[in-house]
Amino acid sequence: MKPLKLVFFAMIAIMIFVLWKMFPTEQKTFITNDRMKEIQSIVDNASKGKVQANWQNVAAIAAIEYNIDTVEPYNIEQTTNLFIEKEGNEYKLKNIEKVMDTLNYTDEQKSQVKSYITYLDSFKKGNKSNQYEFIAEIESAAVDNYKEYGILPSITIAQAILESEWGKSGLSQKYNNLFGIKGHNWDGAVASMDTKEFHNQKTKSDFRAYNSIDESIDDHGAFLKENQRYEKHGLFEANTYMEQAQALEDAGYSTAENEKGEKIYSKMLTDIIQQYQLQLIDSNVTSDKL
């Protein structure tokens, strides 16, 4: 009986090993922060000049197709391109269901993909910090602003974060002005506040005052749309946050420079967007739009 028992247990072990190889749940689920950042960067760069793909969706497909720990950048780029299609001169974003159907995924594989996306999203949803609360507070208005004026939500949110210091500036708390827009060519209420200009010399300036932060975000979109220099520098032709951030810098939205005198506003925006994964909002709203 002992040899038979050994054969039986050996067969069980082989079956478990085969199933583990077919569906390596733990291997496909666990991913380090550094790996997430690397995949995110590859997806964002592959999207540039086209349309913003969702790095979580790309990672989920890549986890089925490859080993997520060792998959090559080229394969991540290929997977990103599965989500992007070109119709004439316009790029459009495919949703995850369409991509899975194109790959002829089984119901089991589709379930694995969705579970993996849920896992990746849990990192962000589990964060209850004040920063994420501020993002959640203005996200809906930023999406509406995109639909009205074409400014990507990630850009609007990142600018609000920078200009209002996460909604903690006096101008934003007292007068709902998230972007520091001054009172020029403005028929509404204004707030006179001290500001540092001309070699850090204090001076009084009038700023637009709003009834709500939603009103501030809407006016910010209108402000960019009405100023021709932003259109001239391609702000509204750009479909990804990298391009819109660069267009804002090129149009002179901010004069921020580093110690070498190099413009850094675009990098300041993209750093925030990448750190808080705001581009996911862009890909979701773009997919909804299409």
62, 76 contact by CB (below 8 A): yes
Q: Does the active-site annotation cover 69?
A: no
Helix (H, G, I), strand (E, B) or coil at 187: coil
Q: Does the active-site annotation cover 197?
A: yes
Task: Name every residue whose Cβ is closer than 8 Å to that of residue 276 and which is 6 or more positions away in sequence.
Answer: 131, 132, 135
Q: Phi/psi of residue 170, each to 5°?
A: -60, -40
> Which one of the listed residues 163, 219, 243, 249 is annotated catalytic?
219
What whole-number distance in Å separates Cα of residue 144 and Cα of residue 153?
8
Encode burial over 124-147: b for 16+ CB neighbours within 10 A, e otherwise: eeeeeeeeeebbeebbebbbbbbe
> Which one of the listed residues 26, 187, 197, 259 is annotated catalytic?
197
Rounded to whole angstroms, what are the CA distances from 221 to 145, 157, 217?
6, 12, 6
What whole-number distance in Å separates Cα of residue 231 and Cα of residue 251?
9
Q: Cα dihedral sign for 261, 271, 45, 74?
A: positive
Catalytic residues: 197, 219
